[in-house]
Amino acid sequence: MSNLVRTFKPQAKNFDESIKQLYFSLAADKVGGAARDQAKEYLQDQLSQARTLRNELPERLSDLAPWMHERAAAVGEEYRQYLSVRKGGAPRRFFTNRSHALHFLQAVAPTKLVDGAWLYGLLPRWKDLDYLPLIRTYLEELGDGIAEKNHVVLYKKLLTTHGCEQWRDLDEEHFIQGAIQLCLAHEADQFLPEVIGYNLGYEQLPLHLLITAYELNELGIDPYYFTLHITIDNAATGHAHKALASLQQLQPLVGDAELFYRRVADGYRLNDLGANTMSVIRSFDLEKEVIDVFREKSMVGKNMHSDYCRVGGRTVNDWLSDAEQIPAFLKALEDAGWIVRGEPAEHSRFWRLIQGEHAEMFGVFNEYEQQLLRDWIALPVSSEKGRIPDAGATASRAPSFRMQQRQVAAAKRSGDSKRVQYIGTARSIFRKTHEHEGVDDFTSELRLFEQKLSSLNSEDAVMRTLINMMSPAHHHTKVGLMATRMFSKLIA
């Protein structure tokens, strides 16, 4: 889709329900009729907004293939230019520091945690060969039931690793794309051309995905979730190719083909609604994020400090009693020398309270919050909003994520052979122990699911049961992964 910042329209014209409420209703264990009615209404409203946006698709379906290849070539050329200027010493284009990157990961979580959902509604068509390419695309989004390749599992792990799990508190704008995907998931029967068009748009490789992966790796953050999409969405053999082939296969031979293609174009433009990669990146305000963290902590910490804890002549409890005082409190910490701006965080006494072997406030701030504080303290007060000058260019760089992985691999190859031997022995003992244990609390749910499937007396009943467990709410669970593996084998 377009790399331009898209205008966010937070409230749909006719849809009065909370977008977040709709999102969580459609991502729930069971989706009721009321939620589906709301999904249909919301989709119709979003489509009316999408029709006001510029249509990027060529006028004729026959021109789509060359258009896609030209677009892919243009993105490749832009990325080549990006790499050239970076090698010439230019700063990172997207992320000014590590906390900026982590903020991005958290802000796009509502979309990433329903990755592929728009195709879920096609699974009941598993007997129809025309839909198999799109169904296989959905299965690949689910990693074919392999946890290490399931896109939602990968993203959940990324969030957990870096303490970015507070995405549920994000503003409504961040839930628009996820809500659209979930609406398409549950209303595919009424919006099939729009599903096809949305899929076509989502599977095009954008420049921002390439840059995001490059800069995350540079900042020591695992880029695999993003590099996986770079390879799997390629226009030659990947999801982009399958998206075009499916559209060509499913265009109507009888009926209004022009109307069908217009609806496809509407679905394509749904990708342009709500918060997106570029708007999220440009909205980052380091100062505001730090203040928000302290305001949240004040709700719990305002009565947790003794009267001996004083800053600027006032107790810490007094400072924290009113969240509006947080900016002044941070300034008081600076004036008192507890925080030394423009220097490494380790030079500040406040940092040593939260980080270190005997830190008195150990555990109060998670990894993401600590990274915000670290970058904020290191930022000179006079600097541009949230930006460390020439970040990633003139300063000495920390090892990239891939470099760290290579160092770990090298250490394993040349390091402590006794440790390697111990790990191998432990794994062998674990396997032998569990061979005789049978079903336990960790495996009982999977065994019950197997028993349920074995009790069914028809192929259709088995497939319906598997499909229920492959929904956006379930496919990333242990049972959902098992169901995906079974489904993949049965349609092979």
pLDDT, mean of residues 223-243: 80
pLDDT tens across 316-373, in order? 888 998 899 999 999 999 999 999 999 999 999 999 999 877 888 888 999 999 999 9
Q: What is the end-to-end Cα distance of the chain in Å, rounded?
A: 32
* Predicted pLDDT at 253: 84
pLDDT, mean of residues 368-394: 72
Locate the domains of the chain by residue range: 19-282, 286-378
On the question of pLDDT at 232 being above 90, the answer is no
Q: What does the H/E/C string look like for 80-117?
A: HHHHHHHHCCCCCCCCCCHHHHHHHHHHCHHHHCCCCH
* Predicted pLDDT at 406: 67
* Predicted pLDDT at 444: 87
Q: Cβ–Cβ contacts within 10 Å for residue 385, how many? A: 11
Least confident among 7-16, 42-51, 254-263:
7-16
Beta bridge partner(s), residue 85? none
On the question of pLDDT at 190 being above 60, the answer is yes
* Predicted pLDDT at 33: 93
Helix axis angle, 207-218 to 401-414, nearest 10°: 50
For residue 477 the two structure tokens come to 């669970």
Residue type, 72: A
d(CA 67, CA 73): 10
Is residue 124 exposed (0-12), middle (13-18) or buried (19+ Cβ within 10 Å)?
Answer: middle
pLDDT tens across 398-437, in order? 677 667 766 666 555 555 544 344 334 433 433 443 444 4
Rounded to two decimals, what is the model's pTM?
Answer: 0.86
* Predicted pLDDT at 381: 81
pLDDT, mean of residues 187-199: 96
pLDDT, mean of residues 140-148: 96
* Predicted pLDDT at 338: 94
d(CA 62, CA 55): 16
Least confident among 203-212, 242-251, 341-350:
242-251
Percent over 70 (pLDDT), the chain: 84
Choose the most confident range, by mean pLDDT, from 101-105, 311-315, 391-395, 413-417.
Answer: 101-105
Residue with tokens 């080549």: 80
Q: Would you call 314 helix, strand, or coil by DSSP?
A: strand
Higher pLDDT, 185 or 362: 185
For residue 437 the two structure tokens come to 């244990």
pLDDT, mean of residues 55-65: 93
